[in-house]
Amino acid sequence: MNRNVYWEDVKEGDALPSYSMEITTTLIVDQVSGSQDYNLMHHDTAFARRQGAPDAYVNTGFIEALLSRSLTDFMGDAGFLKKLKHQMRRFNALGDTIKVAGKVTGKRVEGGEYLVDCEVWIENNRDGVSVPGTAILRLPSKGA
């Protein structure tokens, strides 16, 4: 199914698709083995706690994938994720329930590109927003 989202149809304040998930042992094992990031803090509870974390926690690549999913689900097939920036301020650890969300904060035409600015974030049940971020999407235009 081909689904396009056009720049003209996006409004400031539009919500990006949001979703929630629990960080389970299986999810931790999957993200470690899939990324081959075998750093102990991502799968060894005792080690992670000695480092000051509440438990083993998901890695940077997993965080980026979560944010990217929300953005790509929003922008459709012809959109392009031009830029993603985020700050990992709190741990998203084993046992947490996290929510990924975002919204459109502006839109503009720059250098012939139809751009949409977004705010994205991950929040968890312990700390609230744990990962704030921003993104720039390039969308097709009906008039171009």
In this prediction, residues 58-79 reach a mean pLDDT of 95
Say whether pLDDT at 130 is over 80.
yes
The per-residue pLDDT for range 11-56, each reduced to its tens digit, is 999 999 999 999 999 998 888 888 887 788 888 999 999 999 999 9
Helix (H) or strand (E) holding 102: strand 97-110
- Distance between CA atoms of residues 2 and 15, nearest Å: 21
**At 2, is the pLDDT very low, low, confident or very high (cuts 50, 70, 90)?**
low
Query: What Cα–Cα distance (Å) separates residue 94 from each residue in 45, 57, 133?
Result: 9, 6, 22
CA 111 to each of CA 108, 114, 122, 137: distance values in angstroms, whole numbers, following the listed order:
10, 9, 31, 14
Q: What is the tens place of the pLDDT at every residue in 96-120?
A: 999 999 999 999 999 999 999 999 9
Mean pLDDT of the chain: 93
**Per-residue pLDDT at 90:** 96
